[in-house]
């Protein structure tokens, strides 16, 4: 079913669904690893790409995976989407396919992404470059060296810095480079980078898309032409999503819009209450009118997301004490689930960075990152207040 002209909630529910002979309203799980053909000619039509069809599950040629990918593409308004076994798998296939001449990473990024870009890809001779969001003037210098891919998150982790997708895309395209946005923090319910000029969207579907902290998966969206070059990388790295996980992820996507809308609303209330709290030095949330990225966020996002960061007054020990006193927020290094989570960047996502590098990136020892779940806002606020008190 092609639902690309329908609203996002409708697409979340109906895009890609295939019904079976028994009238199942949703795509069944095809656990088959291989699929039968009536003749050698029929098999060759699929092998040679003349006809679409199921063939072998590691290739992604499986009805449950096709169905999920059609839904994923529809959510970002993309021509196509590939599903992966994890967010890092999606990034790896993208970097190998389109980043071999050089990758520029702007702003803060997920720890695994930074490690892959800073330590591992250079070992293979792939040049990688890093710029803070405040150093955008330097982008042209790297693009002049022939870097082929610009990669960034927005809002970033953990300072929720907002990067201007349209502006960066325009600059990259002037030099013939492609642009990939990691849209994990925002989710497609709040931001659609392809509509703002990016060439690729990457998701850790482990987070908001999965939404229940019970599956690991990734997604890459873009044009058919650009995704075609990623195909063999996913196939031969063997980083295909399992059909069971694909079905679970499709189940989650049907409620994406209602989940994220509620998370946006609760995060806004929590951010406003925390901004007035005497024990809180600062709140980082794109939905606060005095937040530095607010204007750009307002122009490129439909909602401000469920992630926010606080800076607790005092020192590291005070922040740890507050985190350890929380009872509803669980101490865990992930995000985007129905349950609220808390993590200190200095102990998890940015633990591996040298203290002066953390300081350069504006990441302090008193930062506490919250992933707002679907609990009642009043209960979450009460928990934060007792922990701060
Ligand atoms: C978690 C995360 C990743 C990595 O995703 P996995 O599914 O754990 O491989 C990439 N980017 C961002 C922003 C993330 O939060």
**Same-domain pairing of 115 and 169:** yes
**Which residue's alpha carbon is nearest to atom 5 within ligand 1?**
87
User: Are the C-beta atoms of 201 and 76 separated by less than 8 Å?
Assistant: yes
Residue from 84, 87, 186, 306 to probe ligand 1 pocket by mutation (most atoms less than 8 Å from CB): 87
Q: Which of 6, 45, 56, 58 is catalytic?
A: 58
Of 253, 280, 295, the last residue of a domain is: 253
Domain end: 253, 285, 318, which one?
253
Q: Indicate which atom in ligand 1 lies nearest the CA of residue 216.
A: 7
Q: Does the active-site annotation cover 259?
A: no
Residue 263 sits in the same domain as residue 238: no
- Closest residue by Cα to atom 6, ligand 1, is 87
Query: Cβ(155) to ligand 1 under 6 A?
Result: no
Low-confidence ranges of the chain (pLDDT < 50): 1
pTM for this entry: 0.96
Q: How far is CA 31 from CA 19, 34, 172, in A?
A: 16, 9, 41
> 194 alpha carbon to ligand 1 midpoint, in Å?
19
**Burial tier of 111 (Cβ tally within 10 Å: 0-12, 13-18, 19+):** middle
Q: Are residues 18 and 163 in the same domain?
A: yes
Same domain, 103 and 209: yes
Contact 88 CB / ligand 1 (< 6 Å): yes
| Per-residue model confidence as pLDDT tens digits over 57-90 | 999 999 999 999 999 999 999 999 999 999 999 9
**Quick one: DSSP state of residue 118?**
I
Q: Do 173 and 99 share a structural domain?
A: yes
- Contact present, 162 and 297 (Cβ < 8 Å): yes
Q: What is the pLDDT of residue 1?
A: 47
Dihedral angle sign, alpha carbons of residues 295, 298, 301, 305: positive
Mean pLDDT estimate for the chain: 96
Probe target for ligand 1 pocket from 207, 307, 343, with the most ligand atoms within 8 Å of CB: 207
Instruction: Exactly one of 108, 164, 182, 365 is catalytic; name it.
Output: 182
Q: Is 58 a catalytic residue?
A: yes
pLDDT of amino acid 367: 96
Determine the straight-line distance between the first and last CA of the chain, rounded to whole angstroms: 53
Count CB atoms within 10 A of the CB of residue 36. 8
Measured by CA distance, the residue closest to atom 4 of ligand 1 is 87
How many structural domains does the chain have? 2
Q: What is the pLDDT of residues 109-119, one digit of tens each?
A: 998 999 999 99
β-strands 200-204, 178-182 pairing? parallel
Q: How far is the CA of 23 from the centre of ligand 1 (A)?
A: 36
CA of 110 to the centre of ligand 1 (A): 6
The whole-number pLDDT of residue 2 equals 53
Nearest-atom index, ligand 1, CA of 113:
10
- Say which of 30, 110, 129, 142 is annotated catalytic: 110
What one-character DSSP code corresponds to residue 193? G
Catalytic residue among 11, 207, 234, 369: 207
Say whether both 320 and 356 belong to one domain.
Answer: yes
List, in sequence order, the alpha helices (H) in 136-223.
Answer: 139-144, 165-174
The verdict on 53 and 185 lying in the same domain is yes
Q: Is 199 a catalytic residue?
A: no
Identify the CATH number of the domain in which residue 65 sits.
Answer: 3.40.640.10
Ligand 1 within 6 A of CB of 76? no
Yes or no: say if 339 and 380 are a contact pair by the CB < 8 Å rule.
no
Cβ contact 366:311 at 8 Å: yes
Ligand 1 close to Cβ of residue 153 (< 6 A): yes
Which residues neighbour 361 within 8 Å (Cβ) at sequence distance 6 or greater?
108, 132, 159, 350, 353
* Whether residue 183 sits in one domain with residue 275: no
* One domain, residues 304 and 244: no
Q: Find the CATH number of the domain harbouring 380.
A: 3.90.1150.10
pLDDT of 351: 80
358 lines ligand 1 (CB under 6 A): no
Do 217 and 245 contact (CB within 8 A), yes or no? yes
For a mutational test of ligand 1's pocket, the pick from 155, 206, 341, i.e. the residue with the most ligand atoms closer than 8 A to its C-beta, is 206
Q: Are residues 384 and 249 in the same domain?
A: no
Q: Is the CB of 182 under 6 A from ligand 1?
A: yes
Give me the pLDDT at residue 244, please.
98
Query: Are residues 248 and 316 located together in one domain of the fold?
Result: no
Domain boundary among 235, 253, 271: 253
368 Cβ contact partners less than 8 Å away, ≥ 6 residues apart: 309, 310, 311, 312, 319, 322, 323, 342, 343, 344
Range of the domain at 292: 256-388
What pLDDT score does 3 carry? Answer: 60
Give yes or no: residues 18 and 148 share one domain: yes
Interval 181-237: pLDDT, tens: 999 999 999 999 999 999 999 999 999 999 999 999 999 999 999 999 999 999 999
Can you tell me the distance from the alpha carbon of 366 to that of 180, in angstroms, rounded to the nearest whole number? Answer: 31
- Say if residues 126 and 134 touch (Cβ distance below 8 Å): no
For ligand 1, say whether the CB of 110 is within 6 Å of any of its atoms: yes
């Amino acid at each position: 079913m092609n639902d690309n002209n329908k609203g996002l909630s409708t697409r979340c529910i109906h895009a890609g669904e295939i019904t079976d002979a028994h009238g199942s309203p949703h795509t069944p799980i095809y656990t088959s690893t291989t699929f039968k053909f009536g003749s050698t000619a029929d098999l060759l039509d699929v092998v040679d790409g003349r006809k679409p069809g199921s063939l072998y599950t590691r290739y992604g040629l499986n009805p449950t995976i096709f169905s999920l990918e059609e839904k994923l593409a529809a959510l970002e308004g993309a021509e196509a989407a590939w599903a992966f076994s994890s967010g890092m798998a999606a990034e790896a296939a993208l970097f190998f396919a389109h980043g071999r001449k050089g990758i520029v990473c702007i702003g803060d990024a997920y720890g695994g992404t930074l490690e892959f870009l800073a330590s591992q890809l250079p070992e293979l001779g792939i040049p990688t470059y890093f710029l803070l969001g405040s150093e955008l003037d330097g982008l042209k210098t790297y693009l002049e060296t022939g870097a082929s891919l610009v990669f960034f998150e927005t809002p970033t982790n953990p300072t929720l810095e907002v990067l201007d997708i349209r502006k960066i895309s325009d600059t990259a395209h002037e030099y013939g480079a492609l642009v990939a946005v990691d849209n994990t923090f925002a989710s497609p319910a709040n931001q659609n980078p392809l509509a703002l000029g990016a060439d690729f969207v990457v998701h850790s579907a482990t987070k908001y898309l999965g939404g229940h902290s019970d599956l690991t998966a990734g997604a890459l969206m873009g044009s058919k032409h650009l995704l075609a070059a990623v195909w063999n990388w996913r196939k031969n790295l063997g980083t295909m999503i399992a059909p069971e996980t694909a079905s679970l992820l499709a189940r989650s996507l049907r409620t994406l819009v209602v989940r994220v809308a509620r998370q946006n609303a609760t995060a806004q209330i929590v951010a406003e209450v925390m901004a007035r709290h005497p024990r809180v030095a600062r709140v980082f949330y794109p939905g606060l009118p005095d937040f530095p990225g607010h204007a750009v966020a307002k122009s490129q996002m439909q909602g401000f997301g469920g992630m926010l960061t606080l800076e607790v007054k005092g020192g590291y020990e005070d922040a740890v004490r507050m985190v350890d006193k929380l009872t509803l927020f669980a101490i865990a290094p992930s995000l985007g689930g129905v349950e609220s989570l808390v993590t200190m960047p200095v102990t998890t996502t940015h633990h591996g960075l040298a203290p002066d590098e953390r300081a350069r990136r504006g990441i302090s020892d008193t930062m506490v990152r919250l992933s707002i779940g679907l609990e009642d806002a009043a209960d979450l606020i009460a928990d934060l207040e007792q922990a701060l008190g």
